[in-house]
Amino acid sequence: MADPKNTLSTFTARNKYMSANMQEILKASLIAEKICAVDRSDTYTIQNPYGSTPSVSITGLTGTYAVTAFTTTNDALTVDMEVKYGEHIYDFERIISNFNMFAERSDRLSYSVSQKIDYAIVNLLCEAGSGTYSTLSGGFTTASNWNKILSNLLTKWAGYSNIYDGMFLVVEAGDLSGIVEAQMTNGFSFADAALNNGFVKNQAGIDIYVVIDGTFADDTIGTTSVTNSGHRVAGIKRAATYAAPRGVQYDEKKVSGRTGLEIVVWGTFGFKLWTQMAAMVIDITVTA
């Protein structure tokens, strides 16, 4: 069968397709979209939405009350990071004439951008969380630890109203060797679900997300140094905000002295775990 011809013969059509495809894939695949509050407006600075915690008192019947000053925290999200990738396509005309090849390249770029944004957000979130927890010896790869890890994490959030926003845990792919084994032996219907379908993505009310091995790292992301090798992260959803004004953009450029075209994708983003919510995000140390 002949390769389907590409109807995206103009830059305008390709840009529209690429941008829409990227936004669809990012929304579907980004873990950051699922565990953070998301802002896609053109706002590049977002002020802390939380004020001081009310201190309510109970007294006898006195008919009087004390007045406390409402205070805010000088704490803002700034869009100060950029994700970007460029490549030169020598045989550009032949490649874009084949729709399947162009669409596959669009998908591959989108997933690569998604993976890099998640790498940044997951590490920044883990670094900023002020809650702490150390697993039992053997960490997530020891199946007998799994139920204990979940129950211990639940004690970090139980009793807070924010729990109704949802709870999450982010682990690496290698951790599944212990997690899936434990799920396959937990009860009857739950074990059957794991045996039939593999990894169960919610357990004990906690949504479990998986990133590739090596995502939790010691690195400098933007201007922030993180030390997360051997760590994982859990927390209450929407405690942090992820801002991505204008999403990911696409452009094509002619390059002097070279045939073909140079293509580039880029997007700006920002992240903030708000001071008042930092204790709701747990930096998990995996004990060997």
Does residue 40 contact residue 242 with C-beta atoms inside 8 Å? no
What are 220's strand-pairing partners? 225
Query: What Å distances lie between residue 38 and 27, 222, 227, 247, CA to CA?
Result: 10, 19, 25, 11
- pTM here is 0.87
**Tens of pLDDT, residues 46-59:** 999 888 888 898 99
Average pLDDT of the residues in 138-164: 93
Torsion angle in degrees (nearest 10) through CA of 41, 86, 90, 105: -60
Q: Tell whether domain 11-285 is in CATH 3.90.1690.
A: yes
**Tens of pLDDT, residues 88-117:** 877 766 666 666 677 777 788 888 888 999
Confidence of residue 269 (pLDDT cuts 50, 70, 90): very high
Domain segments of the chain as ranges: 11-285
Average pLDDT of the residues in 23-34: 84
CB-based burial of residue 139 (10 Å sphere; 0-12 exposed, 13-18 middle, 19+ buried)? buried
* pLDDT given for residue 9 in this prediction: 60
